[in-house]
Structure 1
Amino acid sequence: MLKVSEALARVLEAASPLPVVERPLEDCLGRWLADDVWADADQPPFDKALVDGFAVRSDDLRVLPCRLTLGETILAGQSPTRPLAHGEAAAITTGAPLPSNADVVVMHERTTFDNASVEIHKQPIQPGMNRLPRGRVYRAGDRLLAGGVELTPPRMGLLAAAGAARVRVIDQARVAVVPTGDELVDFREAPGPNQIRNSNSVMLSALLAQKDARVEVSPILPDDLEALREGLRKALESDVVLVIGGVSAGRKDLVPGVLQELGVREVFHKVRIKPGKPLWFGVGPARQERPPALVFGLPGNPMSGLVNFLVFVAPVLNVLHGRPARGPGIIPVRSAGAIDHRSDLETYVPARLVGQHHAPSIPTAERLEWGGSADMATIVGADGFLVLPDSETSIAPGEIVGFLPLR
């Protein structure tokens, strides 16, 4: 069996970014920008008032206090009709353009005014005060964003301000979730004798939604060769296929054979990981417009599927969406208690963080008692998993150990 690090390296080696597509800007949250985006105009496009008050010339404020004649009123969205005369001020609102020769905006609170004049109180005055010059934020032709960054809400706002109504981004991964097994019933139904509800599809779909994937959940496929062929053939039209169950070594574990019949090349089967050891991974047939489908055969136990997703599937989705290839994001923590680990499998143990956590200090994690790969009730109270090495080891209280966060 491969070590976890070896298996992850093979998975990432098989992954490549999805094609670039053009999308409306408002549909691109979380997408990876494919191209540089350049400013089409100066921002702001004029000298702009930053406060409500009075636009004046600093030359008229050499001696304070002073009284100036009150001229026109300039509102946001309007343009001044003329420059200021000597000894004149213009009432102005935040965001409005200044007269061409005004270089200061004095706040209302620092003045006394009536309909005809305004008195500027004695105060520190600097040229440019409360004025945002044209092009101060950026100039026409400046690069606003470089290709290869994630579109966050502030970045989308910046592009909207520049009129980038449509942008080219890495496409969204299409993921097929395919539950299999005669023992499964829909989670909305009452299970009969020897049956269980299909909870894995709901959990995996939620995990995929957090990773910004487009999910299609297949009906439950029975342990029947023809049904599996038909269902998996359709699933291979997706970019990633998560087949749940049927990948161990039992009589009804038919999935690996059917996938190979459909042209999926096996890369590995079984990994030195607990839970999740029976993991199967392969690469689908070549496609013209998109990379081959990446196919994961996940064990049917929910905890196994969860760990396999966090360790292998989530990093693959990052690559498909154009992000840098990286591992699952394991961080150091201190073990709250002693752990006697006797296994040659890299083991993921549910744990919760305890005490106060203030960066850059290393947090402390406490392992939780759990009932094995089907015990999802314990995971509800966990913050993640302690990651124990694929060798026998004893960990003392306070010793550093790996931790894989759930969120």
Structure 2
Amino acid sequence: MLRVPEALARVLELAAPLPAVDRPLEASLDRWLADDVWADADQPTFDKAVVDGFAVRFEDLAELPRRLRVVETILAGQVPTRPLASGEAAEITTGAPLPPNADAVIMHERTDRDGEFVAIRPQAIKPDMNRLARGRVYRSGDRLLAGGVVLTPARMGLLAAVGASVVRVVPPPRVAIVPTGDELVDFRETPGPGRIRNSNAVMLEALAARRGAEPWTSPILPDEPEALHEGLRRALEADVALVIGGVSAGQKDLVPGTLRALGVREVFHKVRLKPGKPLWFGVGPARDGRPPTLVFGLPGNPLSGLVNFLLFVAPALDVLEGRPPRGAGVVPALAAKRLEHGGDRATYLPARIVGEPHGPSGMAAVEPIDWSGSADLVSVVRADGFLVLPDHETTVEPGDVVGFLPLH
């Protein structure tokens, strides 16, 4: 049986970035940019004013105060009609182009207007004051963004500034969520005797969407070979298939065999992990132009599926999106109480943060909360995350460093 790091390594070995696609810029938030982006022109494309005031020639202001004749008004979006002659100024608004030989802008607040003249008050003046020179932000041909970065709102604004209306990005992975089991009913229904509501699919769909994927949830598949075969066949059209239930060793655990019949190669089955030991992982057959489908057979208990998603599915989604795998996000924390762990599986206990981070390390103290096993979603709702215990016997004393997997 694989340990958690070994199982994750095998998942990541088989995950590959999806092929890039062209998308409208406005539909590319949080996508990973596939190609470099280059400036198509200088920015700004002209010398421009950065304040409202008067464009002047610095050489005319050797002595202050000085009266200058205002020869024109230049608004943003207009262009100056001529250079300034000696003793002249042009009224100008923020963002407007300066006359060709103007090399400073004096703010309105430091002048006195008198008809067609403006008096420049005594003040410290230097060349290029309140002037943004052509190409100061970037030059035509400069590389503005390198491929392999996520498109944030600011980066999208920069792309819009260079006219990149269509960008080449790595698309979001498509995730098929396939609940199986004769005992399941839709969560909108009232279950009859021996039946339970399908809560896992909603939770996994939300986890996938929060991770940036495009989830699709299948109708519940009964434990019947023909229905499983057709439902799983459709799921293999997605980039990732999350099959819930049917992967243990029971009489009706038909999922692994059905997947093998569909050409899915088993990579591993079971991990030294609690909850989540029965995890099944395989790789689908080759697909035209896209990496093979990554198939995760998740146990039916909600906490098992949740932990499996955080530890294995989420890092795989990162790779498909072109990101460096972020892993599950386990961080160091301090144990708030004594714990004795006698198992041989890495164990994830629902836990809460106790007090504020403190000490030089800034680590929070955490303690497990009461839980009733891997079907107990209430404990997770009350928890801040999972306290992580190793896959061997250990005793944790208060103040010892432990792993903590935040949920939020």
TM-score band by shorter chain is over 0.9
1:74 corresponds in structure 2 to 74
Identity across the alignment (%): 70
Does the alignment pair 1:398 with 2:402?
no
Per mean C-alpha deviation after superposition, the further-off stretch among 143-152 and 119-128 is 119-128
Q: How does 1:176-325 map to 2 (within 5 A)?
A: 176-325=176-325
d(CA) in 2 for partners of 1:357, 1:254:
47
d(CA) in 1 for partners of 2:121, 2:336:
64
Q: Which runs of 5+ in 1 are unaligned?
A: none
- Per-residue CA deviations over 1:330-354 (Å, capped at 9, x if unaligned) read 2111122222222111011122333
TM value normalised by structure 1: 0.96
Q: How does 1:100-111 map to 2 (within 5 A)?
A: 100-111=100-111
d(CA) in 2 for partners of 1:93, 1:357:
51
d(CA) in 2 for partners of 1:121, 1:170:
57
Per mean C-alpha deviation after superposition, the further-off stretch among 197-206 and 4-13 is 197-206
Deviation at 1:360, TM superposition (A): 6.3
The one-letter amino acid of 1:128's match is D
d(CA) in 2 for partners of 1:363, 1:89:
63
d(CA) in 2 for partners of 1:351, 1:89:
70
**Distance of aligned partners of 1:209 and 1:91 in 2 relative to their CA distance in 1, 3 Å threshold:** same
- Per-residue CA deviations over 1:219-258 (Å, capped at 9, x if unaligned) read 0111111110110011111110000111111112111111
Does the alignment pair 1:139 with 2:139?
yes
**Distance of aligned partners of 1:280 and 1:95 in 2 relative to their CA distance in 1, 3 Å threshold:** same
The one-letter amino acid of 1:362's match is M
- Per-residue CA deviations over 1:63-94 (Å, capped at 9, x if unaligned) read 22222222211111111111122222211111
SS at 1:69 equivalent: strand
SS at 1:159 equivalent: helix
The one-letter amino acid of 1:195's match is R
**Distance of aligned partners of 1:30 and 1:112 in 2 relative to their CA distance in 1, 3 Å threshold:** same
1:34 corresponds in structure 2 to 34
1:368 corresponds in structure 2 to 369
**Distance of aligned partners of 1:296 and 1:74 in 2 relative to their CA distance in 1, 3 Å threshold:** same
Deviation at 1:304, TM superposition (A): 0.8
Deviation at 1:178, TM superposition (A): 0.3
d(CA) in 2 for partners of 1:88, 1:82:
11
- Per-residue CA deviations over 1:187-241 (Å, capped at 9, x if unaligned) read 1222222222111111111111111111111001111111101100111111100
d(CA) in 1 for partners of 2:346, 2:257:
27
d(CA) in 2 for partners of 1:398, 1:114:
75
Deviation at 1:157, TM superposition (A): 1.0
1:387 corresponds in structure 2 to 388
d(CA) in 1 for partners of 2:3, 2:36:
40
Per mean C-alpha deviation after superposition, the further-off stretch among 61-70 and 135-144 is 61-70
**Distance of aligned partners of 1:352 and 1:88 in 2 relative to their CA distance in 1, 3 Å threshold:** farther
d(CA) in 2 for partners of 1:133, 1:365:
55
SS at 1:157 equivalent: helix
d(CA) in 2 for partners of 1:151, 1:354:
36
Deviation at 1:326, TM superposition (A): 4.8
Per mean C-alpha deviation after superposition, the further-off stretch among 26-35 and 131-140 is 26-35
Per mean C-alpha deviation after superposition, the further-off stretch among 359-368 and 340-349 is 359-368
SS at 2:229 equivalent: helix
Q: Which runs of 5+ in 2 are unaligned?
A: none
- Per-residue CA deviations over 1:2-60 (Å, capped at 9, x if unaligned) read 00000000000111111121111111112111111111000111111111122112212
The one-letter amino acid of 2:384's match is D
**Distance of aligned partners of 1:55 and 1:356 in 2 relative to their CA distance in 1, 3 Å threshold:** farther
Per mean C-alpha deviation after superposition, the further-off stretch among 232-241 and 344-353 is 344-353
The one-letter amino acid of 2:393's match is E
Size of the aligned set, in residue pairs, is 407
CA RMSD of aligned residues (A): 1.5
Deviation at 1:374, TM superposition (A): 1.6
